Chain A
């Protein structure tokens, strides 16, 4: 593929608002998972909640979009000068030449969950102030982002469960390559809601403790929320020294089961191989892998087989979900930003909460941070329905 330049990027999750806090949390091994006190949830679990989401006020002209998910989106967009960068891109390219590709799994469904508590006792009707299209609907966060900046190019929400905001890079790449747009606002936004907390609980997949990816005693995920964004453009002739590029995208499907990964990680391996092929790289070129690493028994076992089969046991890897929690549809975006930070700062981030790495998963799983100049990193995102996406990012210049 023709490499794409991440001219700006930002992430807001339970470990911090914006890049400085996120990087500092990674450096200090500071996690963001705490016992769940969200809404009326009565589950014994830990969550990665973003502080201050409820206090965000949307612009009056976008009041119809008001819900936790879009508040989180706005909080994320306003970090690190990202909004200013998008506005500058609008001046440079024009509003019709910028596409919007936002990944989410549940968008603003919390709004509907809350509205169902206020149904009319006689008719069962939802309250009159409930607006479906701009809150609950999966597209609402992409439409909000588009209208926040007055963009007029193609816009879409990608919703393939936990691979959603990795796959936005794939859709944006194709649309840039097709020449329909000159820049893309890509990202992922997912916010806490009862559907996912009680849903994952029904599957026996949530942990009572902060999740422990690749640990011998791992027992499930910790759900988090996040907003992460990147501005993708074709690389200019001269790139800054620390420039990060998207070099490869690999996508596949397991065709196996709705809520369990292929036991040998076959689909995962296909996605990683496809990303390497697109980037024109060999497994040995990859300096660090940000694993999907959810801390469920089955994900980590299948992913370890896939990584082992393709990379062998030496490539340094970790899951940052022990810090952020599993931010579901936002995970691919958050971890893309963590990969970009890792490349720029020569940081291989440790996986938190893992006390004893599972000997049955014989990867080079990092439990301590490492300082190491890196050229290429890979990020994995897999999801329900057997959806897989791997991304390869690299430094434009040898660090």
Chain B
């Protein structure tokens, strides 16, 4: 069974990759990849109270999602969304667990509501006014693939443009040793059911047992392996190279996603 959609907008933010235009020249090898800590922009679209309370995963989700939606020339309020993250906000989780292990368990209300896995989805709605469906997913290391599959089913079955937001944040120690995500990283994709003037590429996705395709550049490959959301990079590299072809993205231990990419 093959699921087909058209990419209309891309957002990307990660270590040394400040946005999709910058990332393209790095992924094609025109510019050397120089990893530096991911810098998260202030979420200016949020009202002041929510802006103060927003955590790393909220800033990352807003930055990548808004870049993709702007690139597609769409109104974020109209788009159903799929949020896929391999965990909630790492800093916030650590702070709660540390307090609950202490003599003072009075965690703050903001800490608590930021702890839900759908916190980024909630802030996204507040920022953009989107009252559309939001699917909020986790599949550990398979989270990018799970998010892409869910987005494709929304596009194909519900015949609707849908925004995928795949973002991961880092845990501080001591959780970092147990779950060593290397930095904050996010990819956002606007997928559409039909080809349009905005289409960048057509993708057709099937399940496969083939191994996931690595990236040639060692530093980029360690980024791909170090953060679940970065498992989508081989797809973005194919688009940056402007070459039709087939990439295999990581998904579950026994299942990967084969993506046939055809430039529009």
A residues with a Cβ closer than 8 A to B are 42, 96, 105, 109, 112-113, 116-117, 119, 124-126, 130-133, 137-140, 142-143, 152-161, 164, 167, 170-171, 173-175, 177-180, 194-195, 198-200, 202-203, 251-259, 266-267, 270, 383-387
The chain A residue with its CB closest to the CB of B1 is A179
Contact of B175 among A132, A154, A194 (CB under 8 A): A132
Q: Are B154 and A174 in contact (CB under 8 A)?
A: yes
Once the chains are docked, how many angstroms separate the CA of A131 from the CA of B207? 29
Q: Are A383 and B118 in contact (CB under 8 A)?
A: yes
> Considering only CB atoms and an 8 Å cut-off, how many residues of chain B contact the other chain?
67
Closest chain-B Cβ to A103's Cβ sits at a distance in Å of 10
Once the chains are docked, how many angstroms separate the CA of A378 from the CA of B204? 36
Q: Are A384 and B118 in contact (CB under 8 A)?
A: yes
Q: A156-B138, A161-B118, A251-B135 are in contact. List 6 more A-B contacts (CB 8 A).
A: A133-B179, A157-B137, A199-B96, A199-B109, A255-B129, A387-B122
Once the chains are docked, how many angstroms separate the CA of A394 from the CA of B89? 39
Q: Are A161 and B116 in contact (CB under 8 A)?
A: yes
Closest chain-A Cβ to B28's Cβ sits at a distance in Å of 32
28 A-B pairs whose Cβ atoms sit less than 8 Å apart in the complex: A116-B100, A117-B101, A124-B173, A125-B173, A132-B178, A138-B138, A139-B139, A139-B140, A139-B142, A140-B140, A154-B149, A159-B138, A160-B117, A160-B118, A164-B136, A170-B135, A174-B150, A175-B153, A178-B152, A178-B153, A199-B96, A199-B107, A199-B113, A253-B134, A258-B119, A258-B126, A384-B116, A385-B125
- For the complex, is B105 an interface residue (Cβ under 8 Å from A)? yes
Q: Are A157 and B138 in contact (CB under 8 A)?
A: yes
Once the chains are docked, how many angstroms separate the CA of A280 from the CA of B56? 42
Closest chain-A Cβ to B18's Cβ sits at a distance in Å of 28
The chain B residue with its CB closest to the CB of A255 is B125
Q: Are A258 and B177 in contact (CB under 8 A)?
A: no
Closest chain-B Cβ to A340's Cβ sits at a distance in Å of 23
- Residue pairs across A and B with CB atoms within 8 Å: the count is 216
Q: Are B138 and A257 in contact (CB under 8 A)?
A: no
- For the complex, is B156 an interface residue (Cβ under 8 Å from A)? yes
Q: Is the interface of A mostly helix, strand, loop or mixed?
A: mixed
Closest chain-A Cβ to B93's Cβ sits at a distance in Å of 8
- For the complex, is B255 an interface residue (Cβ under 8 Å from A)? yes
Q: Are A178 and B131 in contact (CB under 8 A)?
A: no
Once the chains are docked, how many angstroms separate the CA of A96 from the CA of B114? 36
Q: Are A253 and B174 in contact (CB under 8 A)?
A: no
The chain B residue with its CB closest to the CB of A42 is B105
Contact of A180 among B133, B137, B153, B252 (CB under 8 A): B153
The chain A residue with its CB closest to the CB of B83 is A160
Contact of B133 among A125, A142, A253, A254 (CB under 8 A): A253
